[in-house]
Structure 1
């Protein structure tokens, strides 16, 4: 519904920046719910979302002189949208509108009638619909894939690339600086170490002791190539929302080594979000981090200039790190820290002495005779769970090492992990201890073996549910040799490898985990990984041969390892039944460049089973429908997938259901209260289909030109004129994506 708000002074909506003189797009507000460049699954946010006080019908304005060049109406994307080509060659896009101006709305209705469809995508020439700056061209709404009433606004350059409206003529007042919560450090090579380990590390940041800004909690000890990543967002006064920042610059020893800027995006580069966002942390729900490096194999992007890497391969010694983070208003947060590049110090427990109330550990350096200065101790339960940081009762120097005493009462059946640093600030290699009397027999222990990806390298981890002495290794069986890969104990029950090159697994026939504690134990892994590379097509099968994936020439950024695992403990779908095993494509954390092809073979009884499709498991929304090609001659269901997820064949057994109908059946209404007829539905599993061919709405037996809002799951029709007094009937029908249907009617009276 249109809203008349004459009390606003129009001149307050004019914005001047960088030589531009644009009119603010709507009188609804100048508050934002989202800004330019925010991360989305599968891409970036290409504009700004302007709040409209939770209401629809606010006027939207031409931001400058130009002409309406395009008109769109659809269910899923921008809903009802207008494209305004400006005289300066930019294009302004107004999306999710409720209504256009009368002339444009008339054109829309004519086109919909001509097409016999709600869908419109019409282009206009320069002379058709000229507009002046400040002209009303439509009204804000909630159409298309909109989470609530707002105006999605974009500004595009002459190459149709979205540019940041906030830095190109439409600024907003913002006095708050960006917030940086944590810094992550990613090892990038088999030799790389971060604080003595091959595992990516995340550290909190603290207020700087001098000069303002933030600082690392301590000197970081690194070795080999590494990449930095930060968890960052921005705030604007008066709003609870979190926003994307404008730019980030990384300096090492005062020299810039990396920068990114969200001033210009490209619709052809949407998939590069997975190389700008730290995908491993994102997939593991560890936070939304931005990478401050770009690997050589990554695609070009407008965000990061070509020719810069940001991957740090530092010379030995100390290095100053500075990260500058700015928002569109120029507010800046600076983070400073120090990295020392040096190999981890090999340390060992030379002897253990049991005293009356304490246990004394003599910890000495093995590889570098520089005095140890600091030890931090953490206890772990007999099943490997972290317990607490231990208080060191007594500490004294012993040659280049330290003798420390820990309370005997805190140990007992607990293990200890020691984090050691020397005078230079270099971390020691992982060091653990447990009472040998607490050893469990290898044959009695549960052993969990996992593989994961760190920027296309592989790291293996073995975790036991008890303490054991001795060594652990992976063994790769080739045609004529065994390759042994040692694992290092990083916690009392956890062992990891260094980062492994995928090529190490070429021509591997079998992978074993080997333990040599009280007895030898060999576990043959149920794993058949394949080495895949860009520019090659590789077909990979599950062990039972019923699930297959095809890595295309463009699927991966770099050579990596891929495999398929059958899931032992499936998540049952609500509203459906599993018709196959669940297969997890691994490594789950891997950043992929383009889609992969997937297929699951089924048994004969499923061949003609209705409402059956492939699904993948989404951590947020659960089982998610995949458009599926049922290859009945091969008895295979096939689809494409954009990430490494769990997949299965599922039959959707429950049809959609109705949540609300308006006007309600049997109701009596004043004619002024019936401006819209609507039905809101929902579905447990596959979701409501947004295809016009799968839905219908009639009023008094006549089809109407309905609209559909996919997030509200609402089928609705705006009445062009009030209904006549008397009885009326609305009929409706919708389907879910699997083909189940719901239909019904409501009869009501108008007076």
Structure 2
């Protein structure tokens, strides 16, 4: 046997085995009972959830502890995403991540604040060396919060492979013991699909729900499926756990045909560059049209997503004459609580009463080829691999507006949309960008300008047009009145907003010195904490400057009075 084939063989064996992980190496990052408001690999918009979301008693400010000895290897503070986040690298080859934090504990807090003042930026990303910020297991490192794109107060917690940066299900590391679960997953819906061009399932060539009846043993029995050709199934499901009413994601799915395993996946680990494959993993069109998330238990074309590529079959059932099939789905959570669906399938040569809907256009996209379309002053370049399947693309230009299909088709890689704006004056061109019209509003896209051409890269389909933004952002609702005495206040804040291109930059100054202002995009607020101790004794002049992405700026100026109660800490300006 040649070496490459031997390696492939060994890899295939390894994929079928669960790696052993240390069960008692990591401690809980919170000193409260653990309940998950989000599970590992849970299906989210355009991505799989990369860790566990721990509830924090519906409040912020709970102590967060280092899960094991190690050193802080990365600190990232961003307006969205994980907000304020800490990454700790451990000597056993794993890295833990703590996201949506409210604030940091010393010495981290001082280290981060000094860097923010040095860079004059709230948003920073730092990669400390191994000896700079060591931590011990159980050391207080931060306090839980609701920063970034969090939808509520909680702690996002991850365990990653330090070398590969793949994220791993924390349940493997003993967190399953801390989060008991005796409840089986719940099945909401079963959907059948006519996969082949001439396939029919229950008289339909379109996806069709299949009714289920609960059996005394807790399993479900589906109504008989009458079909011909290649068909597949999908499920809408969630998991519950003890003393927790959140609808979380499931862990494992297996399908069987006449007793033999057909298709399976389990959410154990994945790479971040794979996460967008969720759009092919689910029935994306159904998700966009009726807001129902259905996990497909088959695929049409192979795609390089590790969780499904472990199968040597595509999950489809080919229904032939004079044959009866027993198809079974087993859905499990991490604690091995299981729910089964039994589906009898029988051949039927009946013609479809619900026909496939396919609008044929002059623009047929072949997913494995580059595609380039131009009309009037607008062009669209579609590189190979941008779509998962071949399809007829709706492409049109009317009144300088690009109509690029609709949002029911997922895009995997960036498309390039280019407008020739020769007809727009130089003055307006500098304030112009390409926007996607989303409902009643305009969604800004970073627009690249070269001569008369404006271009964007997008993973969205829909309606695009040129927008011009000449209106400056708003600065409003300061937390104090001008000339106020703020001796009893620990912070000051203002609200900021921009109605079109969005906020690009914000800076605050006290008496001419740059000050750190935390930005919360959810509340549109900028907050400066007096604990930074950069204010002067007595009168202080505050200046806030906010710019949007088209360079329009607003300046807000006021003053207040405050008496110093402790010695100021010198900041780098």
TM-score > 0.5, shorter chain as reference: yes
Q: Deviations over 1:714-749 (max 9, x none)?
A: 222222256676443422122333444333234334
Superposition map of 1:412-561 within 5 A: 429-430=352-353, 490=354, 496=355, 527-534=361-368, 536-542=369-375, 545-561=376-392
Counterpart CA distance in 1 for 2:161 and 2:294 is 28
Aligned residue for 1:231, secondary structure, equals strand
Q: What SS is found at the alignment partner of 1:22?
A: coil
Report if the CA contact (8 A) 1:61-1:133 is conserved: yes
Distance 2:225 2:476 in 1: 55
Structure with larger Rg: 1
Query: CA separation of 1:743/1:277 partners in 2, compared to 1, >3 Å: closer, same or farther?
Result: farther
Paired residues for 1:586-735 under 5 Å: 586=405, 588-602=407-421, 604-605=423-424, 607-609=426-428, 610-618=430-438, 622-633=441-452, 636-652=453-469, 654-658=471-475, 660-669=477-486, 671-672=487-488, 674-689=489-504, 694-720=505-531, 726-735=538-547
User: Does structure 1 residue 741 correspond to structure 2 residue 542?
Assistant: no
Using the size of structure 1 for normalisation, the TM-score is 0.66
Question: Which residue in the other structure is 2:57 paired with?
Answer: 53
Verify the 8 A CA contact 1:29 1:52 in the aligned structure 2: no
Give the Å deviation of 1:91: 0.8
Q: 2 CA distance for matches of 1:696 and 1:498?
A: 53
Structure 1 CA distance, aligned partners of 2:364 and 2:128?
A: 52
Cα–Cα, structure 1 residues 679 and 308, in superposed 2: closer, same or farther, change >3 Å?
A: farther
Secondary structure of 1:554's aligned partner: coil
Question: For residues 40 and 269 of structure 1, what CA distance do their matches in structure 2 show?
Answer: 14
Distance change >3 Å, CA 293–CA 63, structure 1 → 2: same
The Cα shift of 1:704 comes to 0.4
Q: For residues 301 and 104 of structure 1, what CA distance do their matches in structure 2 show?
A: 37
Segments of structure 1 that go 5 or more residues without pairing to the other structure are 1-16, 347-428, 431-489, 491-495, 501-510, 512-526, 568-579
> 1: CA distance between counterparts of 2:245 and 2:444?
33
More displaced stretch, 654-663 vs 593-602: 654-663
Q: Is the 8 A contact 1:81 1:93 kept in 2?
A: yes
For residue 262 of structure 1, report the CA deviation from its aligned partner.
Answer: 1.2
Structure 1, 293-302 or 273-282: larger mean CA deviation: 293-302
- Which range is displaced more, 137-146 or 281-290? 137-146
Deviation, structure 1 residue 118:
3.5
Contact 1:185/1:226 (<8 A) preserved = yes
Q: Distance in 2 between matches of 1:657 and 1:342?
A: 65
Where 1:281 maps in the other structure, the secondary structure is helix
Partner of 2:181: 174
Distance, in Å, in 2 between the alignment partners of 1:67 and 1:114 is 22
What is the alpha-carbon distance in structure 2 between the residues aligned to residue 223 and residue 286 of structure 1? 29
Q: What CA deviation, in whole Å up to 9, does each residue of 1:121-166 have, x standing for no partner? A: 3334444433332121222233333334322111112422111113
Match of 2:316 in 1: 311
Q: CA offset at residue 304 of structure 1?
A: 4.9
Instruction: Work out the CA distance in 2 between the residues paired with 1:497 and 1:118.
Output: 52
Q: Distance in 1 between matches of 2:255 and 2:32?
A: 38
Aligned residue in 1 for 2:11: none
Quote the residue 1:80 is aligned against: 84
* Inter-CA distance 663–531: structure 2 relative to 1 (3 Å threshold): same
> Does structure 1 residue 343 correspond to structure 2 residue 155?
no
Residue equivalent to 2:18: none
Give yes or no for contact 1:274–1:591 (8 Å, CA) kept in 2.
yes
| Alpha-carbon distance between aligned partners in 2 of 1:343 and 1:606, rounded to the nearest angstrom | 64
Q: Distance in 1 between matches of 2:480 and 2:206?
A: 59
Which residue pairs with 1:194 in the alignment?
Answer: 201
Aligned-residue offset at 1:648: 1.7
Matching residue of 2:306: 301
Q: Aligned partners of 1:649, 1:330: CA distance in 2, in Å?
A: 53
Conserved? CA contact 1:277–1:288, under 8 Å: yes
Q: Give the Å deviation of 1:299.
A: 2.1
Structure 1 segment 89-488 matched on structure 2, within 5 A: 89-158=93-162, 159-171=164-176, 172-208=179-215, 210-216=216-222, 218-302=223-307, 304-316=309-321, 317-344=323-350, 429-430=352-353
Q: What do the CA deviations read for 1:46-98 (whole angstroms, capped 9, x no partner)? A: 11222223433221112123232223333333333221122321110112223
**In 2, distance between residues paired with 1:280 and 1:135?**
47
Are 1:596 and 1:642, in contact at CA under 8 Å, matched by a contact in 2? yes
User: Is contact 1:189–1:499 with CA below 8 Å preserved after alignment?
Assistant: no
Residues 113 and 686 of structure 1: is their aligned pair in 2 closer, same or farther, counting only changes over 3 Å?
A: closer
Contact 2:206 2:356 in 1 (8 A): no
Cα distance, 1:221–1:587 mapped onto 2, change above 3 Å: farther
| Alpha-carbon distance in structure 1 between the residues aligned to 2:484 and 2:197 | 71
Relative contact order, higher structure (CA 8 A, sep 6+): 2
- Does structure 2 conserve the Cα–Cα contact (< 8 Å) formed by 1:264 and 1:303? no
After superposition, the CA RMSD in angstroms is: 2.8
- Rounded Cα–Cα distance in structure 2 between residues aligned with 1:227 and 1:83: 41
Residue 661 of structure 1 contacts residue 746 of structure 1 at CA under 8 Å; is this kept in 2? no
**Structure 2 CA distance for partners of 1:335 and 1:729, relative to 1, 3 Å:** farther
- Who is 1:358 aligned against? none
Q: Name the structure 1 match of 2:568.
A: none
CA contact (8 A) 1:190 1:499 kept: no
Asked whether the equivalents of residues 656 and 681 of structure 1 are also in contact (C-alpha less than 8 Å), the reply is: yes
Structure 1 residue 41: Cα displacement: 2.9
Deviations along 1:370-399, one digit per CA (max 9) or x if unpaired, are: xxxxxxxxxxxxxxxxxxxxxxxxxxxxxx
Deviations 1:20-67 (A, max 9, x none): 342111236523322211223332211122222343322111212323
